[in-house]
Chains A and B, each alone.
Chain A
Amino acid sequence: EIVMTQSPATLSVFPGERATLSCRASQSVSRYLAWYQQKPGQAPRLLIYGASTRATEIPARFSGSGSGTEFTLTISSLQSEDFALYSCQQYNDWPLTFGQGTKVEIK
């Protein structure tokens, strides 16, 4: 099973600042990596797939990069609605696996 490790567990950021979230795979997943956003009390929402392709209607301030085992989600200028839990997921191999999540909170 491919283990996905996200860091940091919690990221405290001022509104308007850049946020950089990391996701590491225990073995290569090529570019088969997705990112999700989950706000309290809501279902997750797809942000990025294929490591760097934004999903439909996702703002351009969200960008993904990386391949192999190291991936990054960058939020260029945090808006109030961006404070949430972010999870990565690999879909290169079975079983599909998620990271434990990074909570982005207001500083």
Chain B
Amino acid sequence: EVQLVQSGAEAKKPGESLKISCKGSGYSFNNYRIGWVRQMPGKGLEWMGIIYPADSDIRYSPSFQGQVTISVDKSISTAYLQWSSLKASDTAIYYCARSAANFFDPWGQGTLVTVSS
């Protein structure tokens, strides 16, 4: 079974750093892109960026370029999304999802990130 399992919920303060993870299993991890999608409370889906594990090629949405960093560790079939300095407006659920042709299937269960002083 193809599965993406994300790291658990995080509660952080503004200015703190954070790295969340997404581990793939049940398929050849290197051969499929992993995308990250934000969903703010009560809002729609926003594409953040996508990485190709085989060569670490990354594309970011202009809205998120410079705000987050996407990376991958092929040796453990895991993709990451990280922030160097969180803001309250980063409070959201973050999903990773596998992509063969730039649509997404399946999705991870989501990681809730809460940023509050």
Contacts and interface: CB of A to CB of B under 8 A. Distances in A.
A17 interface: no
B45 A89 contact: yes
A55 B106 CA distance: 10
Query: Size class of A's contact patch?
Result: 20 to 34
Interface in A79-107: 87, 89, 91, 94-101
Given A43-B107, A89-B103, A97 B47 contact: yes
Nearest to A96: B47
Q: Interface residues of B toward A: which range?
A: 20 to 34
22 contacts: A1-B62, A36-B45, A43-B95, A43-B106, A44-B37, A44-B104, A44-B107, A45-B106, A45-B107, A46-B106, A87-B44, A89-B47, A91-B103, A96-B35, A96-B61, A96-B102, A98-B37, A98-B44, A98-B46, A100-B43, A101-B44, A101-B45
Which of B101, B103, B105 has most A Cβ within 10 Å? B103
Contacts of A101: 44-45
Interface string B80-108: 00000000000000010100011111111
Nearest to B60: A95
B66 to A, nearest CB: 14
Contacts of B103: 34, 46, 49, 89, 91
Contact of A87 (B45, B61, B102, B110): B45
Per CB-CB distance, the 7 closest pairs between chain A and chain B, nearest first, are A91-B102, A46-B105, A34-B103, A43-B107, A95-B61, A100-B44, A98-B45
Interface string B14-45: 00000000000000000000010100000111
A43 B45 contact: no
B62 A95 contact: yes
